[in-house]
Structure 1
Amino acid sequence: MASTQALFRTCPRSGLQFHKSAESLIKLNAVAAVVTLLIGGLLALLLVLTRWQAIHLIDADNFYLYLTAHGLDMLVAWIIFFEIAILYFCSSTLLRCRLATPRIAWLGFALMVIGTVTYNVAIFSGNATVMMTSYVPMPAHPAFYLGLILFAVGALIGCFVFLGTLVVAKAEKTYEGSIPLVTFGALTACIIAIFTIASGAIILIPTWLWSIGYIKHIDPAMYRVIWWAFGHSSQQINVSAHVAVWYAIAAIVFGARPMSERISRTAFFLYICFLQLASAHHILADPAVGVEWKVFNTSYAMYLAVLASMIHGLTVPGAIEVAQREKGFTKGMFEWLRKAPWGNPVFSGMFISLLGFGFLGGISGVMMGTEQLNMIIHNTIYVPGHFHATVVLGTTLAFMAITYFLLPTLFNREMILPGWAKWQPYVFGLGMGVFTLAMMGAGTLGVPRRHWDITFAGASLPYEYPGTALLMLAICGISGVIAVIGGAMYIIITVGTILFGKKLDAGAYTTSITPLRLPVQAALTGHGGHGGGFAAPGTFVLALVFLTAFVLYYFVNWKYLSTVWGLS
């Protein structure tokens, strides 16, 4: 075919092949993601300088308004825009086929943009200061709910276009055997996304009708249960997507193959079956939900999702170690890690993401999912400390890392400020790592999750937190500013490269799929594990360090819980 839909471009640097329509949509979704990251980052700076009690920058009304916009622009818009770009990349590009129904994909993108603008206008006009959770009976302007619904419908369209592209690739036989592991991870994210978006529609559509007067009453307990199937499962999309990015970067930088592709796929399958059940930890203190349901979700089924994450945490660095040892880095236990390309932001961003997500996000998440332990940190600032470790230190940093690969490959631009790019993952990772630790420390001391002023200045019945809590919030402020600087470095590098970076050879568009297979393409789209036994002793030692940290932290929290038993 000679139509636009049949035009393909082969990247001269990677060998990856881009269908023209898919390429345009990947670019625009990525750009929209960075724009919303910029808005959310500016709001983050204002919020962190307000929770820092010594500065206390903005007033109460604007604090809650900005907090509402920050949560939605970061967890919903930035993340999902980028994930739709990943879905199109993992289907059309990695499977070397045309994108299914490009016009419908454009409709989905348009709805996502319109939805984002709509709910932001509602928030910044002062008519939707209801936090991201937007619990009823606290009402928001109908445009707030409508914007979220439009965004969700657009994202759902993107998911179905991704699934359609898999069907096209299978029908046109553009790949052999099963889909590549990275695409399988994207499929996992897509399946969870459909569940998540459907949950959001089930509760947000009635809530929108309630806001315009067509429904008299929304039950708050029902709202909380269904909303968290949307709100927390959004993070489960992120987990699947950023783990797929980890595997992709291991292949891109090292040519690494999974240690066991079958085990890695099984771990993704466990995500599909059990990961969304972690939503229950947000309502463990809710008396309207049965104890049996809470215990099953958080004490049994959720651990199968934890097992899946631990598998990925072992196999991704394990694959890198095996690939490095095959290249001759065999001295001692950790030469493979010492000689890794730490100056390459694609690798350093991914590895910091892996460590931060595992040690900070993963361990704290399991602790929060334990019904008894949840009581000591429920609705404290510990909770956002946890999900900043997962969504920001884990997902956002992984997406930043893959961006540095896509700038010359997808946008065909030479990266500006390479020295900045070398340091950006470290600045952002260090700032966000300390930030999350300080938030979790403050939460352990009882600091509330969303309170504008914990000094309760002027209150008739004041409550005084220990001085350590104020110190933790000060550390949050300092490290939060450092993380924002790291985020600003990423945005300047990304936007500056797209606008001003030196143009690179893009390769010509043709109407045929070329057989060119450069090393990056072969590593991303190939199959098979390394085999031959466990040849990653360094990774095994790191896993034991993780296990030790997990056991100690778990024990410390049970010990801390025992100190409050006297209250009964």
Structure 2
Amino acid sequence: MATIAVPQPQDDANFRTCPVTALKVDLAAEKLIIANAVAAVVFLAIGGLFALLLALTRWQAIHLLNPVWFYRILTAHGFDMLVCWIVFFEVAGLYFGSAVMLNARLVQPKIGWAAFILMAGGALMTNIMVMLGEADVMFTAYVPLKAHPLFYLGIVLFAVGALIAVILFFATVITAKRERRYEGSAPLVTYGLIAAAIIAVYTLLSGALAFVPALLWSLDWIPPLDPGYYRNLFWGFGHPAQQINLAAMVAIWYALAAITVGAVPLNEKLSRLAFILYVLFINLGSAHHLLTDPGYSFLWKVTNTSYAMYLAVLGSLIHAFSIPGAVEAAQRRKGYTKSLFEWIRKAPWREPGFSALVISMVLFGWIGGVTGVTIGTEQVNMLAHNTMRLPGHFHATVVSGTTLAFMGLTYYLIPLIFRRELKLKSWASRQPYVFGFGMLLVSIGMIASGLQGVPRRHWDITFASSTFKAFIPSTAEFMLGIMGIGAIIAIVGGVMYLTVVLTSVLTGKRQEARRLTLVMSQENPLVDDAIPANGKEATGKIAPKGTVVLVFGFLMFFVIYYFSNWWLLGRTWMIN
């Protein structure tokens, strides 16, 4: 557990005191948090527009874009959503988790601004090249597909800026410890961000090994690259980039649980161990992108995707019990002990941070996590990898899980960091449900159409001969329609989020935050009262019995889905 120390008086000119958390907030860090958060939201809006265009194209009844613009928009969408939106927000989170949460000063803010300029400049350069038609190579940019040199240069500049920001985060954490801004271990949220930053270093260096040679090749300065070698290096960047998101998302889950219901981890040491499992094993799951490649031995594939990756999955299972268990314990301490699940019924479901937490965890775990582990086995992967099952998986993880968690945290950064009154609170309370429901339909539509053979990287399912069409049933078009409807609903949720954020930042009253939860006046409360009417709190040791039942149900679903895939696989082999 961390104990925050009070900064020395001579530092007060560079700090402000948050009236809610009583933390000293470094004003230089605050400005960088705001800049990176704003950039993140801008790219979320751009990527969201592209997402709608893509969904309306894969929805066969509409089929909006032609092939050229489909791949062009797909390239920009992947970069803006998987890289720009999430990394900018994560950098803002790193500065918050180091400087603000540790009561510390941000080391060398000018370097932070240099990192921001590199990231913003690189992101703009890459987007411009894509939209000019100079880089229709999709997010993976597999060689021998060649883009304009400025496309690769933009990605490299962005990665360099992100790496500088990560190094600045580490320097701030180390300096905070040396200057005794906190005692003991770093807070659990900061600890999770440290794990994310460690993964980020590996990821960004792997990206450099892939994109720097690609840049030189695009300039004709070096011979053509070996496609298999490039794929290996790229997925050392592409998949671990999402594992940065995973560690950061889980850290935010702990933060949202603490903010909304006052949850404290049941066993903080176990939660920290789960983050260590991420650092040691999560990147090895990158191998599932290479399972169909001929250049790797069976032993290498199985070791990485069936054994090492499962240790990282164990980390996620620990968090899947720890966070709901902490929420249940917090609720039971408030007196909600009448039944096994009263703590769920009486939870603050209209509090956007709480609903975002729960929906993020459910969609990430029950859809994204279960499908990801299943697809990570070689035999299933051979059938599933180039179908829509893969986008369905990572839209459940990155979009439904990570993005929704980041959205939930934003509602608290506005009053705490932007120091603006949160506007449209009723919209904020409904937004996670709208966005989450839309992404549920998107993920199910993609996964179900992929199960029916719909390819993942083709703009059409009527492109092939009549022989091939026979393998794609007519119900596939129905599931693509479900995906398209879900995308529209999710876009509505995204617009609600952007509207709340922009309205609050641009027109919200300038004021200091007064509380963490986003409760309105007593005449029009946004959430239910956190304490029962009798005002009595439960005492003694709290046993999270309800969480045990929920986790057991999740594990049963996991087992049924996993082995049903093997049953379907056996039928496929028998047919062939």
TM range (shorter): over 0.9
Secondary structure of 1:450's aligned partner: coil
Per-residue deviation at 1:532? 8.2
Q: Verify: 1:14 aligned to 2:14, yes or no.
A: no
RMSD, matched Cα: 1.8
Per-residue deviation at 1:567? 5.1
Aligned partners of 1:557 and 1:345: how far apart in 2?
Answer: 35
Per-residue deviation at 1:185? 0.0
CA contact (8 A) 2:112 2:165 kept: yes
Secondary structure of 1:410's aligned partner: helix
Aligned to 1:566: 574
Judged with a 3 Å threshold, the aligned counterparts in structure 2 of structure 1 residues 531 and 214 are, in CA distance, closer, same or farther, namely farther
Q: Verify: 1:415 aligned to 2:422, yes or no.
A: yes
Q: Which has the higher contact order (CA 8 A, sep 6+)?
A: 1
Secondary structure of 2:48's aligned partner: helix
Judged with a 3 Å threshold, the aligned counterparts in structure 2 of structure 1 residues 254 and 462 are, in CA distance, closer, same or farther, namely closer
Q: Verify: 1:544 aligned to 2:552, yes or no.
A: yes
Secondary structure of 1:187's aligned partner: helix
Per-residue deviation at 1:462? 5.8
CA contact (8 A) 1:5 1:19 kept: no
Per-residue deviation at 1:154? 0.3
Q: Verify: 1:323 aligned to 2:330, yes or no.
A: yes
Secondary structure of 2:274's aligned partner: helix
CA contact (8 A) 1:4 1:20 kept: no
How is 1:306-385 mapped onto 2 (pairs within 5 angstroms)? 306-385=313-392
Aligned partners of 2:363 and 2:575: how far apart in 1?
Answer: 35
Among candidates 533, 553, 556, match of residue 561 of structure 2: 553
Q: Verify: 1:98 aligned to 2:131, yes or no.
A: no
Aligned to 1:79: 86
In structure 2, give the amino acid aligned to 1:327: K
Deviation by residue 1:189-211 (Cα, 9 ceiling, x = unmatched): 00000000000001110110000
Deviation by residue 1:301-347 (Cα, 9 ceiling, x = unmatched): 11000000000010001001111111111111111111110000011
Among candidates 269, 275, 282, match of residue 289 of structure 2: 282
Aligned partners of 2:11 and 2:479: how far apart in 1?
Answer: 56
Moved more, 237-246 or 370-379: 370-379
In structure 1, give the amino acid aligned to 2:501: T
Aligned partners of 2:106 and 2:175: how far apart in 1?
Answer: 8
Per-residue deviation at 1:496? 1.2
CA contact (8 A) 1:5 1:20 kept: no
Aligned to 2:61: 54
CA contact (8 A) 1:259 1:531 kept: no
CA contact (8 A) 1:333 1:538 kept: yes
Aligned partners of 2:308 and 2:159: how far apart in 1?
Answer: 27
Deviation by residue 1:438-476 (Cα, 9 ceiling, x = unmatched): 10011111100011111128x687624211101100100
Moved more, 12-21 or 37-46: 12-21
CA contact (8 A) 2:78 2:138 kept: yes
Secondary structure of 1:176's aligned partner: strand
Per-residue deviation at 1:566? 2.5
Judged with a 3 Å threshold, the aligned counterparts in structure 2 of structure 1 residues 359 and 41 are, in CA distance, closer, same or farther, namely same
Aligned to 1:293: 300
Aligned to 1:499: 506
Aligned partners of 1:11 and 1:79: how far apart in 2?
Answer: 26
Judged with a 3 Å threshold, the aligned counterparts in structure 2 of structure 1 residues 6 and 135 are, in CA distance, closer, same or farther, namely farther
Among candidates 204, 220, 236, match of residue 213 of structure 1: 220
Aligned partners of 1:350 and 1:14: how far apart in 2?
Answer: 21
CA contact (8 A) 1:456 1:462 kept: no
Secondary structure of 2:383's aligned partner: coil
CA contact (8 A) 2:441 2:485 kept: no
Deviation by residue 1:402-423 (Cα, 9 ceiling, x = unmatched): 0111111111111111111111
Aligned partners of 1:93 and 1:531: how far apart in 2?
Answer: 32
Aligned partners of 2:143 and 2:13: how far apart in 1?
Answer: 49
Aligned partners of 1:15 and 1:373: how far apart in 2?
Answer: 52
CA contact (8 A) 1:5 1:21 kept: no
Among candidates 155, 160, 164, match of residue 162 of structure 2: 155
Aligned partners of 2:135 and 2:12: how far apart in 1?
Answer: 42
Aligned partners of 2:540 and 2:274: how far apart in 1?
Answer: 20
Judged with a 3 Å threshold, the aligned counterparts in structure 2 of structure 1 residues 370 and 533 are, in CA distance, closer, same or farther, namely farther
Aligned to 2:35: 28
Per-residue deviation at 1:481? 0.5
Aligned partners of 1:491 and 1:154: how far apart in 2?
Answer: 26
Aligned partners of 1:531 and 1:20: how far apart in 2?
Answer: 41
CA contact (8 A) 2:52 2:491 kept: yes
Per-residue deviation at 1:434? 1.5
Aligned to 1:430: 437
TM-score (norm 1): 0.94
CA contact (8 A) 1:18 1:93 kept: yes
Per-residue deviation at 1:477? 0.5
TM-score (norm 2): 0.92
Q: Verify: 1:126 aligned to 2:133, yes or no.
A: yes
In structure 1, give the amino acid aligned to 2:557: A
Aligned to 2:469: 463
How is 1:156-195 mapped onto 2 (pairs within 5 angstroms)? 156-195=163-202
Deviation by residue 1:86-127 (Cα, 9 ceiling, x = unmatched): 101000001000001111111101100000001001100000
Count of aligned residue pairs for this structure pair? 545
In structure 2, give the amino acid aligned to 1:399: F
CA contact (8 A) 2:332 2:542 kept: no
Deviation by residue 1:55-78 (Cα, 9 ceiling, x = unmatched): 011111000000000000000000
4+ long deviations beyond 3 Å: 1-6, 459-462, 530-534
Aligned to 2:205: 198
Secondary structure of 2:324's aligned partner: helix
Aligned to 1:523: none
Aligned partners of 2:49 and 2:77: how far apart in 1?
Answer: 9
Secondary structure of 1:9's aligned partner: strand
In structure 2, give the amino acid aligned to 1:225: N
Aligned partners of 1:65 and 1:5: how far apart in 2?
Answer: 50
CA contact (8 A) 1:260 1:531 kept: no
Aligned partners of 1:6 and 1:561: how far apart in 2?
Answer: 65
Gaps of 5+ in 1: 508-529
CA contact (8 A) 2:17 2:25 kept: yes
Aligned to 1:146: 153
Per-residue deviation at 1:395? 0.2
Secondary structure of 2:308's aligned partner: helix
Aligned to 2:525: none
Aligned to 1:514: none
Percent identity between the aligned chains?
55
Per-residue deviation at 1:505? 3.0
CA contact (8 A) 1:188 1:269 kept: yes
Aligned partners of 1:118 and 1:546: how far apart in 2?
Answer: 44
Secondary structure of 1:258's aligned partner: coil
Per-residue deviation at 1:371? 1.0
Aligned partners of 1:348 and 1:87: how far apart in 2?
Answer: 23
